[in-house]
Amino acid sequence: MTDETPLQLIDILTDPDAAFARARQLGSIVQTEVGPFVVSHAGVRAMTQSTALRPSFSKVLERFGVSSGPFYEWMRASPLDMEGDAHRVWRQLMTRTFTPRSVERLRPFLQAEADRLIDTFVTAGRCEFVTAYARKLPAAGLCELIGVPVEDRERFSTWADTIGLGFNMMVAASRITEIDAAIVALLGYADELIAARRAEPRDDLVTRIAQTVEQDGGLSEEIVRASIAGLVFAGHETTKNQLGWMIRVLSEQPGEWDRVAREPERAKAVVEEVLRVRSTAANLGRLALEDTEIDGHPVAAGSTLTASIWSANHDPRVFPRPDTFAVDENSAGVQIAFGQGAHHCLGAALARSELQESLIALTRRIRCPTLEPDSEWLPAIGINGPTRLPIAFERR
């Protein structure tokens, strides 16, 4: 550490919990070599709920060396960087499909799909979990919910895997050529899907998005294609990574694993604690539109802030046992893995359902897994999780 940058990226990558614990002692906002990080729970909540701040992922990309190209331009046009009336129209459209009721109707499908996937590896006693399960279940759930053809799962899963690298700041610049190619392919696929739904409308979200451009006050053609591409990406990539984190966290909690097997209703609470301990989204960015204040700290107009979700979810002022996996003790606090405010994750209900049904199915079919050597993980900045996660287990 230095006086100018008391929180440094190398410390976050090496030992994030210790680095953020030291940073929180210095205040809600702490300087790093890439700008200020908001590290307290109160500060992150205030930042995500403030109307004086707007999403700024494209600005974050610029700070890490990506300022042009297809991925950068897609981000600038996507809902992740959207605000005002355009965001309101988009959000209203999305919420018609991503409702708790529609997700609840999807649970029997998720249950059957989870068992089908587990059948492919349960007798072997080991698997590479990302390939065998984590890449496949979210793709299936998304196909079923929003109307993406089942036969296209593998194509968009491959693109989403690559595009996901663009949301990890330590990787994006070095892999931008691959990321740009993947987003071009995914946007082309979105164009094909839009044309197909306009020619033959169905009762699904893709059709509703495709038709809004023709309505007064609807979305622009650019936002329509960016939105469909974004749904295909986000509905796959984030949950894929979170499933990997769930296995890693619970591999150290055999008692909780076995308890869910006996009491499947406990899966909801266990998933919330997994999300608190390690969310796939480690941080998010905001741009100040005007002079404002965050948790007592002045923020000048034009400033770009990074909120650390990981730090907020380990704040001892909110969680009694912040550095311990403690389902019941920490449940009084509000974990913010899905963000807060106007940009709270639209797919939170779907992601929770996929995680819960996966945990119920896995604990019922296998004993608590152990991690085998040679796992590979993205750096703990931005969207992160395992790219390879070999596990071993006993069949129940």
Give which of 50, 79, 34 is closest to 306, Cα–Cα: 34
Question: Do the domain assignments include residue 314?
Answer: no
Report the b/e string of 84-122 with b at 16+ CB within 10 A: eeebebbbebbeebbeeeebeebeeebeebbeebbeebb
Q: How many CB atoms lie within 10 A of CB 40?
A: 27
Residue identified by tokens 């119920």 is: 360
Question: Do the domain assignments include residue 275?
Answer: yes
Residue identified by tokens 């739904």 is: 197
Task: Categorize the per-residue pLDDT at 51 as very low, low, confident or very high, splitting at 50, 70 and 90.
Answer: confident
What's the whole-number mean pLDDT along residues 204-218? 70
pLDDT digits (tens, 9 = 90+) for 84-126: 666 666 677 667 666 777 788 899 999 999 999 999 999 999 9
Strand, coil or helix: 293? strand
Residue 395: phi and psi, rounded to 5, are: -75, 140
- Is pLDDT above 70 for 218? no
Residue 238 buriedness (CB in 10 A; 0-12 / 13-18 / 19+): buried
pLDDT digits (tens, 9 = 90+) for 280-320: 999 988 889 899 999 888 999 998 899 999 999 999 999 99
Question: Do the domain assignments include residue 166?
Answer: yes
Task: Categorize the per-residue pLDDT at 2 as very low, low, confident or very high, splitting at 50, 70 and 90.
Answer: very low
Question: Do the domain assignments include residue 147?
Answer: yes
Question: Torsion over CA of 107, 111, 114 and 118, rounded to 10 degrees?
Answer: 170
Task: Categorize the per-residue pLDDT at 1 as very low, low, confident or very high, splitting at 50, 70 and 90.
Answer: very low
pLDDT digits (tens, 9 = 90+) for 16-26: 999 999 999 99
Question: Do the domain assignments include residue 292?
Answer: no
Predicted local distance difference test score (pLDDT) of residue 161? 87
According to DSSP, residue 131 is labeled I
The helix or strand, by DSSP H or E, that contains position 84, with its residue range, turns out to be helix 84-95
Structurally, how many domains does the chain consist of?
Answer: 1
Mean pLDDT estimate for the chain: 88
Task: Categorize the per-residue pLDDT at 170 as very low, low, confident or very high, splitting at 50, 70 and 90.
Answer: confident
Question: Do the domain assignments include residue 75?
Answer: yes
Residues in the chain: 396
- Is pLDDT above 50 for 80? yes
The domain containing residue 345 runs over which residues?
66-283+335-392
Give which of 50, 32, 43, 49 is closest to 296, Cα–Cα: 43
- Is pLDDT above 60 for 211? yes
- Is pLDDT above 90 for 131? yes
- Is pLDDT above 60 for 216? no
Read off the CATH number of the domain in which 344 is found.
1.10.630.10
pTM over 0.85: yes
Own/partner long-range contacts of 196-204 (Cβ < 8 Å, ≥24 apart) = 197/147, 202/147, 204/97, 204/146, 204/147
Question: Do the domain assignments include residue 49?
Answer: no
Question: Do the domain assignments include residue 42?
Answer: no
Predicted local distance difference test score (pLDDT) of residue 127? 98
